[in-house]
Chains A and B, each alone.
Chain A
Amino acid sequence: MILRDMAAMNAVDFFWKKRDGADCISPTSPDSHQFSAEVLNRNIAWYISLRWVSCSILLLYYCISFLPSAVIHFIGVVSEGTWSLYLACFLLFANGIFYVVSRRKSLSGFVGPHAQMWAQIVIDISCIAVVVHFGGSVATPAPFLYILHIALACIFFPIHLSLSVTFISSVLYGACVFFEYIGFIRPHAVFAARAMGPLGYFANGSYLAWHVFSVTTLFFLLWYMVSRLTKVIRIREKQLVAAGEETRNLQLEKDRYSAQMTHQLKAPLDAIRSNISLVLYFNGEKIPVEVVALLQKIDARARGLAALILDVLKLSRLNTPLVPPEPVNIAFDEIVERCVDELTALARQRKITIETSIEKTQTYAVADQIHMMVENIISNAIVYSNENGVVFVRCDYDTQIDAPVFRVADRGIGIPAEKVPHIFEDYFHTKESVCHNSASTGIGLAIVKKVAETHGIRLKVESELGQGTIVTAVLPKSRLET
């Protein structure tokens, strides 16, 4: 069997995800600097992961109190960790809720991604206030934990909201130090050496005032710098989105123009072929055999040219469909059989044998598009096979991957390893393919790519120059009819 003999080849997997327009900044709101829900959801998930780490650190700190006092003394940490246990429990509970909410899709309003992000920042800042107090508001760098949230607020929120976060952080920090200074709450510190000192720090009011002033000024400076940088990035993102949109519109315009042009090119060829068929239909017996042969040659060349133009027309029509294609459950085996039947004449002409192993298989797809894909893959295998070669076509349901699989193998000219990743690009062809088939345009595989992209079909191309090529397509499973 061809497939077994051609095991060790260069293999490249292809999967094109259909663009869903989930850009970083919503293109539908030109004046907004809000990130799209998808971007926010991704970052919410990242936030939640970070929070699990924070909970672990708090619990770890609590566990220190169980160590022998000599060890605690050695590492220089104060073991008054019950606050860290309560805080870790609270954070675990809150993070659990955030996790459950974030798993639910299509939420909006008060439970939408913006609201979730806002709630998380508020909870985090409140928890940081506790950590700053018990960790050492003046004696340790704990206040700098606020910086992370100020930066994140600058990135994800509009400027007024990030300023609010900065303001709240400053007030919480100032209040913490003030209440510790007036003795309303007792100052703490996690490190033993500093723990001796807090009272020392709190004896000097002007020092504390300068300290709070410096830290809060730093908060506002950071807010200014990050929000400014973020603004520049957002403007760039918006420009990118607009450029992408413009490119897509130009592409559509190009496809429409291409469809119109190809129709204009094909119409005269159809007319030429119609006239030839008219001459042969009415006068076939009266015309000398040589003239009939000549007319048939003209018709064959016109047919070849028309087929190339039709490929361009089909490609542009796939990009600008009349109506969005609706996939349904279809008998894939019947499509493969029909394509093999249609291509038997071409194979015979090139002295190629087509061997088939076709099992009953269903797929969920647009029938005429799948027909185009199968037809192009098989015809490519025929066209790039050597004379007297064999093309093997297989279609079955792979129970291991639980999906319909279509596979075509040939012992043809093969593809150079460095060219394999590019074969699905529009109008791509290799030197070898042009030498073997001068009519090569590089449109057939571009059609295959478009159909695969539309249907989420995974393709695998294994090839070796001079040895042959195997193309494998994993198709969508059929769906339960409703």
Chain B
Amino acid sequence: MSKRILHVDDDPDIGTMVCAVLQREGFYVTSVRTLGDVFPALDQDEFDLILLDAMIEEQDSGLIAFELLQNRFPRVPVILMTSLGEMVRPYFKDRGFDVGILEKPVSPDRLLSAIHSCTMNATRK
């Protein structure tokens, strides 16, 4: 059964790229552009992974959204996409989250490799 991925990014071009690449690899992708659409999408469907932009809508709002998502859907792994790379990791240090970080801009190969390793880890757990 194909994995279901929720992609959250306010940039339509990034959304198009992620959807196209993942759909070609057999993933089922739902793309949302605002944080307001994230929870309705999660309530409506079950997802195996969330790809979340760290600076969606406002600076660092993605980081707060990451916490909310992990608290409400602890079984769904979330990969944070950010230009700042490891610079955002200290934010999660004391919050007890195991955060996956994907540095933007992301090439199709890197995106696929990150998603494969994250979904495999989730399956093992």
Contact = CB atoms under 8 A, between A and B. Distances in A.
Interface of A: 256, 259-260, 263, 266-267, 269-275, 277-278, 281-282, 306, 310, 313-314, 317, 321-323, 325-326, 366-368, 371
Interface stretch (B8-16, B33-41, B68-76, B113-121): B8-16
Contacts of B106: 274
B83 A263 contact: yes
A368 B89 contact: yes
18 contacts: A259-B59, A263-B55, A270-B14, A273-B105, A275-B16, A275-B17, A278-B16, A281-B108, A306-B105, A313-B84, A322-B60, A322-B63, A322-B90, A323-B90, A323-B93, A367-B86, A368-B86, A371-B86
Contacts of A271: 11, 13-14
Interface string B87-103: 11111011000000000
Contacts of A256: 59
B21 interface: yes
B104 interface: yes
Interface in B16-50: 16-17, 20-21, 24
B123 to A, nearest CB: 26
Contacts of B17: 274-275, 277-278
Q: 3 smallest A-B Cβ distances: which pairs? A: A271-B13, A274-B17, A270-B105
Contacts of B60: 322
Nearest to A302: B105
A321 B84 CA distance: 12
Contacts of B21: 278, 281
A366 B86 CA distance: 11
B83 A310 contact: yes
Contacts of B93: 323, 326
A310 B55 CA distance: 14
- Quick one: which of B59, B93, B94 has the most chain A CB within 10 A? B59
B108 A277 contact: yes
Interface size class of B (residues with CB under 8 A): 20 to 34
Given A260-B59, A306-B105, A267 B11 contact: yes
Nearest to B21: A281
Contact of A282 (B24, B89, B91): B24
B84 A274 contact: no
A479 B63 CA distance: 31
Q: Is the interface of B mostly helix, strand, loop or mixed?
A: helix
B51 to A, nearest CB: 13
Contacts of A366: 90
Contacts of B91: 322-323
Contacts of A275: 13, 16-17
A325 B87 CA distance: 10
B92 to A, nearest CB: 9
A212 to B, nearest CB: 68
Contacts of A274: 13-14, 16-17, 105-106
A325 B93 CA distance: 10
A465 to B, nearest CB: 35
Nearest to B91: A322
B90 A282 contact: no
Contact of A277 (B11, B24, B107): B107
A371 B13 CA distance: 31
A371 B85 CA distance: 12
A281 B94 CA distance: 39
A281 B110 CA distance: 12
Contacts of A306: 105
B108 A317 contact: no
Nearest to B53: A267
A272 B83 CA distance: 15
B22 to A, nearest CB: 11
A256 B60 CA distance: 11
Contacts of A323: 90-91, 93-94
B66 to A, nearest CB: 12
B20 A322 contact: no
B108 A313 contact: no
- Quick one: which of B17, B59, B88 has the most chain A CB within 10 A? B17
A314 B108 contact: no
Nearest to A366: B90
Nearest to A278: B17
A241 B21 CA distance: 56
A278 B108 contact: yes
B83 A266 contact: yes
Nearest to B108: A281
A260 B61 CA distance: 12
A322 B89 CA distance: 10
A325 B90 CA distance: 7
Given A281-B21, A323-B91, A270 B108 contact: no
A317 B84 contact: yes
A263 B16 CA distance: 20
A272 B14 CA distance: 9
A25 B44 CA distance: 59
Contacts of B104: 270
A366 B91 CA distance: 13
Contacts of A260: 59
Contacts of B107: 277
